């Protein structure tokens, strides 16, 4: 299972689960990731320490 925000692998029995009213489930590795997505409403592609940011950075270099 991977963190929905940073993409880090979450070990079984650890992490946080956030369930929205519409039934979507978000799994987070830490409260840092939860705060960035839920409270601060940040896009993982724009936060430099996430895997999504590094993926988009590599895609820009290829073009």
Tens place of pLDDT for every residue, the chain, 63 residues? 999 999 999 999 999 999 999 999 999 999 999 999 999 999 999 999 999 888 888 887 776
* Domain 16-62 CATH class label: mainly beta
Q: Cα 19 to chain center, whole Å? A: 15
Confidence at residue 62, expressed as pLDDT on a 0 to 100 scale: 72
- What the block records as the tokens of 40 is 């601060």
């Amino acid at each position: 299972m991977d963190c929905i925000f940073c993409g880090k692998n979450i070990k079984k029995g650890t992490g946080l689960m956030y369930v929205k009213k519409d039934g979507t489930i978000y799994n987070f590795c830490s409260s840092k990731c939860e705060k960035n997505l839920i409270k601060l409403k940040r896009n993982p592609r724009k936060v430099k320490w996430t895997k999504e940011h590094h993926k988009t950075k590599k895609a820009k270099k290829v073009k």
